[in-house]
Chain A
Amino acid sequence: MSHWIQEYRMKRKNRFKKLILFGAFVLPGSGHLLFKKNVKLGIHLMTGTAALILLVIFRWYRIIGTFESKAFDHWLAVLFIILSWSAMVFISVKHTYELLIDKIKKPRIKTPLVLASRRFRENKLAVISLYVICFFYLIAVLAPFLATHDPSAIDNVLETRYQSPSWEHPFGTDEYGRDLYSRALYGARVSLSVGFMAVVIAITIGTFYGSIAGYFGGFIDNIMMRFVDVFIAFPTFFLLLMLVGVFEASIVAMILILGLTSWPGTARFIRGEVLSLKEKQFTEAARAIGLPHRTIIFRHLIPNGISPVLVSAAMMVSSMIYYEAGLSFLGIGIRPPTPTWGNMMSAGRDALLVAWWVALFPGGILAATMLSFNLLADGLRDAFDPKVLMRRFL
């Protein structure tokens, strides 16, 4: 008898477990909440899934329409939805499974990175800015589905132009009657991608260049830095103006121009960091063992120098976005009808006396984005290098 009861209990337990796993699949995050482990992650997963579900429900037609229209940006957005959903489900199921079988996890080694991320999480402002940034990137990718109108749709201009903000047009309309909210969404795509890619280019080249110069020092350093000095002497905007004037201003050209004008600044900064790292004893030790230069640079110096690089990268994204917007504002960067926050503000400037919203909203979002990146950079800096209270008097 007891044998049966045990079997029955086992079966019930198994079914129970399967139910939980199924729950984790359908509603990512439920497993975390149930077991009260990693609750924050669970909440994130749940809100994420809920948001996706809402999106899919409200924009069903458009999503289906992607398969017919074959518009590239629509495809990208659909792909993103599928990928993120799969990732959330995967994480949820994996963690829930591990929790069910009571897998013992190794305690996390307190590497500097782990410590830094913990400090970062305690900084509320930094965390908020990180969320804001992720939010902006998210809506930029999903723009085709979030936009309420077609950003280039012009329709009975005389009636629709310069409408002040309303339910239908949260940001109002511009001089051609286009919905500014949708244009801003698409503008986000331009600005954010340009910012990110330009920084990637600048940081990659700059880090290589700067670490080589700083490491070898002496003559090589001298020559390399002379070149950098010349670049830095140009006031950025004038240089950008010239370059954009010489080459056409497409999005790709923008990215290249911004990236290629910024790497000298990064190189100079990295070189400084490498120089100070060089003085530290672990470099001497590495050299004493006889490690080749290449290894010292890549395996030792760069990982240690990563933190200031990240901080400056975050600030640079803010600057890149600013420059792109500035150039477009002047009419030299990306030109209408492609919406970018900069050229929208330019239109806003012309309409300043009659339609204040055209200048306010795109610029406001631009300011918010720049602010978030700067706060993020600040938070990163504080996370990597906390100010220790000086106890020297004892």
Chain B
Amino acid sequence: MWRHILKRLAQAIPLTWGILTITFFISHMAPGDPMDMYMEEQRQRQVDPEIIELLRQKYGLDLPIHVQYVRWLGNVIKGDFGESFRYRRPVLDLIAERIPYTLQLTLLALLFSTSLGIIIGIVSAVKQYSALDKGVTLGSLIIYSIPGFWLALMLVLVFSVYLGWLPTSQTRSMDYEFFSLGEKIFDRIWHLILPVFVLGLGSAAYKARYVRNRLLEVLNEEYILSARARGLKEKMVIFKHALRNAMIPLVTILGLHLPALLSGSVLIESIFAWPGMGTLAVGAVGGRDYPVMMATLMISAILTIVGNLLADITYVALDPRVSYEKKKPV
């Protein structure tokens, strides 16, 4: 098993390098160079062409591109993502501030979608052909197809504007500082409900469908019949024998959904004014803040790779067949 893990880790390295390289080249495909952008923004003040040249030299923009690339790569590996054009602060700091909020949303949404999906999927499979099952099959498709940001707006409309049950945005209330600890915790959770729900709902619908189909498949397998023929209790047959087999591929799906959730968080963060990486990235695009754009792109990609790696390792841990592939029958 460990060999497999090391293999995967080894594969992740060229992948990461590929990500860094592509990010670099995308950002340098823009016509003109960052200095022109900078000048545009500073249009108000008359900037001396000499100073522009000095700045160019400082940022190394006068060097040939492969030299720039190597320099940049060296910096990135050391953890130096440069300085934001907009905020004049190291990009790394900005990201460090924002990542926890994005991770909060994304991981909670993953948790929510997985638990909801599994529960509904199991119930749906066990009660096949019932009204619930048919409803779930169709309903999940509908939910999965609805654009998340529209759903968010509609839910905000209903629950915040008309009913006033949930807050419209932000991570905490205005008078947060005056709350007691218990109230603070509650406030945080209260603000998390809607964003996490909307973010995770599509994924939950997909998982429910997947679990249902997979479980039905497994329940038709011979070893399940064999288990029943041995007189095992039905609960054990479903929850021990069938579920284990059905769930294993779900782990891979979890890994696949992580980038989708990260993607989705960009829109959700925008709607709920959530101070995460998504809003940072959007702002950077609007303000042509290249260092930030590049950094958010790379970090999100790296998060994805890490997530996939974890999913892969979990899969190998759960399914004995994978790591034993090379072994001969005893």
Contacts and interface: CB of A to CB of B under 8 A. Distances in A.
Direct contact, A vs B (beta carbon within 8 Å): yes
Given A234-B297, A235-B260, A348 B30 contact: no
Interface in A316-373: 318, 322, 325-326, 329-332, 345, 348-349, 352-353, 356, 359-360, 363-364, 366-367, 370-371, 373
A245 B153 CA distance: 25
A322 B263 CA distance: 12
A217 B27 CA distance: 33
A192 B103 CA distance: 34
Interface stretch (A138-146, A198-206, A225-233): A225-233
Interface in B258-310: 259-260, 262-264, 266-267, 270-271, 278, 281-282, 284-286, 288, 293-294, 296-297, 300-301, 304-305, 308
A353 B161 CA distance: 7
A76 interface: no
A236 B304 CA distance: 11
Given A242-B27, A246-B27, A352-B153, A371 B145 contact: yes
Contacts of B305: 233
B30 A246 contact: yes
A367 B150 contact: yes
Given A241-B266, A363-B147, A234 B300 contact: yes
B301 A238 contact: yes
Interface in B115-146: 141-142, 144-146
A390 B141 CA distance: 25
A182 interface: no
A367 B270 contact: no
Interface residues of A, number: 46
A371 B27 contact: no
B181 interface: no
Given A238-B297, A345-B149, A359 B157 contact: yes
A374 interface: yes
A117 B259 CA distance: 35
A359 B153 contact: yes
Interface centre among A245, A353, A359, A371 (most CB of B within 10 A): A245
A241 B18 contact: no
A295 to B, nearest CB: 34
Contact of A330 (B14, B156, B282): B282
Nearest to B160: A352
Contacts of A90: none
A21 interface: no
Contact of A371 (B18, B142, B284, B294): B142
Contacts of A331: 282, 286
Given A234-B304, A237-B263, A359-B157, A329 B282 contact: no
A64 to B, nearest CB: 39
B174 interface: no
A323 to B, nearest CB: 9
Nearest to A325: B147
Contacts of A360: 154, 157
Contacts of B149: 326, 329, 345, 363
A373 to B, nearest CB: 8
Interface in A203-231: 226-227, 229-231
Contacts of B111: none
B92 interface: no
Nearest to A373: B145
A236 B278 CA distance: 12
12 contacts: A226-B18, A235-B260, A237-B263, A238-B281, A238-B301, A246-B26, A318-B145, A326-B149, A326-B266, A332-B282, A352-B156, A353-B161
A-B complex: 10 closest residue pairs judged by Cβ atoms: A363-B150, A230-B18, A245-B285, A237-B263, A235-B259, A371-B145, A235-B262, A374-B145, A235-B263, A246-B30
